[in-house]
Structure 1
């Protein structure tokens, strides 16, 4: 089966492409399918709201396809709702989203798929003004294949950046309908530290610091040469006498 044939209407590539083929120029879609199958679509870059690619024909042409991205707060709430169900989250991250994933996204107002070719704003540097030209059609087929293999690429195009996808991959413990920043059931209200600084230390006074004793290394030199031990003994004795008590300065 070709990479551009779909028999399972749950796959996101077919869900994306079918309404476009139904509302666009059939012959040009057929020609674009050939171009895509021949690997003429290169340098594909998917960003929130826009896709850019280069399509080889009689010369290279640049194609841009845009669709207004879904607002970030809508996507975050939808991602949290999906992430609250480990099965739905794991199948989506594995590239096999269940139909319930789309239902959750739709329920939060995050519509994934265009209903008409005119929902997209497509531009190509070629002189063909078809609706669409074969180069744009080739990019749409390539996108459909990409969305089949990587559903997160479709979410990225619809506006989900890495921070939004983090709400999907990390179980925050917040209810699905919580507003971003609202405390969830596992949230803890903490008193600002600055407000409790006055009673931070409530124990007894700290114990006094013991006075320091001079270290005498000479007992460890029992086997050393006697003249050296005798000379060092005089030196360490002088140092102990000259050492200043804690809080005082030494004699000049």
Structure 2
């Protein structure tokens, strides 16, 4: 939190470049000193000092602007410009004038000194008092004070609140007071008028009480919807790629909503490619889907057929089904001892075991590490097995599903 004391001391390490003041208030600042000087040569040397960067960091407090100015000696001179701060009675008049004039208030918020304050805030001739630790005993200002004056004018161009700080008020406390006074003016102008926006009385908000329970969350949708249509534009990204990204993002969001788990967590490049391809069944592939299969297969070093088979397994049962497709393993004897008689009893024929697989001509069952059976089919005389059906803990149900 910035206190009034903190707000009333500011140090500027870097003053904007240039010497000539650009704003009317910056020029008024320079004129206040130039009109009291009877030595144009000193002013010219002070201007040259300002151009050459002899003025170091500038510190501003109420009534005083101080900086060290390097001259002909090795040690810089402490130079200041004094300006009488306003008493509280004058500040009250200034604040009331600003609060009652929306144009003046807007100008101040745009970091401009309102013209209505020209004769109040800015110093007049003889009001800006220079002091310097240099040995120049002539009539002020000395060249060091003149240099500080020219540099301070550029500072005022950029931040007119410096002039208000010299008069005794910091920027934050000034704006806070103006906010309060502006609100009071608005109430006086429209007594009893309701605000033009919805709200709740502060008394009701701060009153202690028991909050009502939050409403029940909405049920998640059963499936994702169709992605938006992206028009083709030579300067825009590929619309097919955007459609794919939108579809995939929706699928991931639905999975997170319903399961609390990200479907991408821990997937390898190949597994993620299979997941993406599984959203597009190989039957009746569109041109966009064929392009996706080709690009994903190329990126993973596989063939489109490999990817299509893996995508079919993913649609069959996700990552465990993909593992059943690609990872033969040696299960314990128990599941096979129960599965083969059950298949015979269901008139499905005799199945030959081989590692985690039971095969009978064009049909095959693969036991996954998750304990589920995954059905496969192949053409007669071919060893080209493709996933089919729905996995089940019952081999007969998996085979007939």
> TM-score band (shorter)?
0.5 to 0.7
Q: CA RMSD in A?
A: 2.8
Pair 1:22-2:22 in alignment: no
CA shift for structure 1 position 129: 1.9
Aligned partner of 1:4 in structure 2 is: 19
CA shift for structure 1 position 187: 9.0
Q: Give the 3 Å change call, closer, same or farther, for CA 168–37 of structure 1 in structure 2.
A: farther
Q: Provide TM-score, normalisation by structure 1.
A: 0.59
Aligned partner of 1:85 in structure 2 is: 101
Q: Give the 3 Å change call, closer, same or farther, for CA 51–19 of structure 1 in structure 2.
A: closer
**CA separation in 2, counterparts of 1:184 and 1:166?**
19
Which entry has the higher C-alpha Rg, 1 or 2? 2
Aligned partner of 1:179 in structure 2 is: none
**CA separation in 2, counterparts of 1:73 and 1:86?**
22
- Kept in 1: contact 2:32–2:128 (CA 8 A): no
Q: Give the 3 Å change call, closer, same or farther, for CA 141–78 of structure 1 in structure 2.
A: same
**CA separation in 2, counterparts of 1:164 and 1:83?**
11
Select the structure with the greater relative contact order (CA < 8 A; seq sep ≥ 6).
1
Return the match for 1:149 from 158, 161, 172.
158
**CA separation in 1, counterparts of 2:175 and 2:93?**
11
**CA separation in 2, counterparts of 1:77 and 1:172?**
14
Farther-moved stretch of structure 1 (135-144 vs 84-93): 84-93
Secondary structure of residue in 2 paired with 1:52: strand
CA shift for structure 1 position 13: 0.7
Aligned partner of 1:121 in structure 2 is: 129
Deviation track 1:153-205 (CA, whole Å, cap 9, x = no partner) reads: 111101123423422355543359xxxxxx966899xxxxxxxxxxxxxxxxx
Secondary structure of residue in 2 paired with 1:64: strand
Deviation track 1:3-39 (CA, whole Å, cap 9, x = no partner) reads: 3335x7x610101111321221211111111111122
Aligned partner of 1:42 in structure 2 is: 56
Aligned partner of 2:65 in structure 1 is: 51
**CA separation in 2, counterparts of 1:45 and 1:186?**
43
- Kept in 1: contact 2:81–2:128 (CA 8 A): yes
Pairs aligned (count): 171
Deviation track 1:109-147 (CA, whole Å, cap 9, x = no partner) reads: x4421222xx33322111112321111111111111111
Give the alignment of 1:1-252 within 5 angstroms: 3-6=18-21, 11-24=24-37, 25-57=39-71, 58-59=73-74, 60-102=76-118, 106=119, 110-116=120-126, 119-130=127-138, 131-161=140-170, 162-175=172-185
Secondary structure of residue in 2 paired with 1:126: coil
**CA separation in 1, counterparts of 2:45 and 2:51?**
10
Q: Provide TM-score, normalisation by structure 2.
A: 0.38
CA shift for structure 1 position 99: 1.7
Secondary structure of residue in 2 paired with 1:45: strand
- Kept in 1: contact 2:121–2:164 (CA 8 A): no
**CA separation in 1, counterparts of 2:32 and 2:131?**
19
Q: Give the 3 Å change call, closer, same or farther, for CA 34–77 of structure 1 in structure 2.
A: same
Structure 1 portions without partners, runs of 5+: 177-182, 189-252
